[in-house]
Amino acid sequence: MQRLVMPLVIALTLGLLAGQPAVFAQLQVDMPPEQAKQLEDFAREVMVFSGEITVSGSPLIAPLAQKLADAFMAIHDKTKITITTSSSDEGLKEIVDGTAQVALMSRFLRENEYKEHPDLKGYTIGSLAMAIIVHPDNPVESLSLEQIRDIYTGDIKTWKQFGGPDKPIDLIVLDQGADLRYLFDDTFLEGGKTKTPKKTTTSVKNPESLRAQVATNPNAIGYIMLQTIDASVRAVPVNKIEPTYENASTGLYPLLFQMTLLTKDMPVDVAREWILYIITDGQEIVATEQFVRSD
């Protein structure tokens, strides 16, 4: 068996470099799975990757992607991964026109996008959780998904129904085009077809401004990512489920959204190996950053 190890490693390495998964299958026929996996891992370790890619897309995922890129480049120091923050829409546009090799998507592809770009490939790397936030003094104990929708459509107009004052509910939303706004509208407002009441709606540029608005307004409600909650606001349970990382990780918390990496055609070279790293060893970083793992 010892005489076979080096040829097998060389074959595995060549197969990885050439992007030929069939090499693995051929070599694994008469080999115990654990041993085959060890050889595959070893082959990846001895390979020297080089090259660079550009990754563009959602600001909700970009900070995580940067940490994943830094970790990968620390292992493969002849690679360069450049992360640019734009939007899911812009990331998709850039992989289609070739200015980026990987897009960071915090939303699903629309039906027309599937039809226009049938060669796109997607890889789920985890999920993010959205929190509904109010002022710390707001007495509301929990909101159902239906109640959140009714608040933002104006069907529920005051906090009185939830044990609060008979004051208008001030709706704080992100500007059109923001990725988190897209997720919220898609969930509660028919993809933006249903509009919030203009009189009680304030639109802000970024989640930090939204959180600041809610923190200083006892009648306000808004939405941010779960891991960006701080003591200045209170996250409201949804469907009586506390908005915690633990509840999100088990799937109990309902406001979860997949994070996806998109490539045009099958990824190759650095893009392929980085994506493979993310969906395996990189899941530890995904969890550390308070996103829900995909594995």
Q: Read off the pLDDT of residues 95-154 as tens digits, 9 standing for 90 and up.
A: 999 999 999 999 988 889 989 999 999 999 999 999 999 999 999 999 999 999 999 999
Whole-number Å distance between alpha carbons of 191 and 207: 19
Q: In the predicted model, is pLDDT for residue 18 greater than 70?
A: no
Identify the band that residue 192 occupies on the pLDDT scale cut at 50, 70 and 90.
confident
User: Which pair of structure tokens corresponds to residue 230?
Assistant: 């701080």
Ordered by start, the domain boundaries in the chain are 2-46, 51-124+261-288, 129-249
Return the amino acid letter for 47.
M
Identify the band that residue 183 occupies on the pLDDT scale cut at 50, 70 and 90.
very high
Q: In the predicted model, is pLDDT for residue 49 greater than 50?
A: yes
Q: In the predicted model, is pLDDT for residue 289 greater than 70?
A: yes
Do residues 66 and 83 touch, judged by C-beta distance below 8 A?
yes
Q: In the predicted model, is pLDDT for residue 27 greater than 80?
A: no
Fold of 51-124+261-288: D-Maltodextrin-Binding Protein; domain 2 (3.40.190)
Lowest pLDDT segment from 38-52, 68-82, 217-231? 38-52
Do residues 56 and 262 touch, judged by C-beta distance below 8 A?
no
Average pLDDT value for the chain: 88
The pTM of the full predicted model, rounded to 2 decimals, is 0.82
Q: State mean pLDDT over 17-29.
A: 43
Region of residue 215 (phi > 0: left; psi between -120 and 50: alpha; otherwise: beta): alpha
Fold of 129-249: D-Maltodextrin-Binding Protein; domain 2 (3.40.190)
Residue 277: name the closest of 105, 63, 125 by CA: 125
User: Do the two domains 51-124+261-288 and 129-249 of this chain adopt the same fold?
Assistant: yes
Q: In the predicted model, is pLDDT for residue 25 greater than 80?
A: no
Q: Is 64 exposed, middle or buried (0-12, 13-18, 19+ CB in 10 A)?
A: buried
- Say what the pLDDT of residue 19 is: 44
Is residue 107 classed as helix, strand or coil in its secondary structure?
A: coil
Q: In the predicted model, is pLDDT for residue 24 greater than 60?
A: no
Whole-number Å distance between alpha carbons of 152 and 173: 10
- Say what the pLDDT of residue 110 is: 87
Angle between helices 2-18 and 33-46 (to 10 degrees): 60
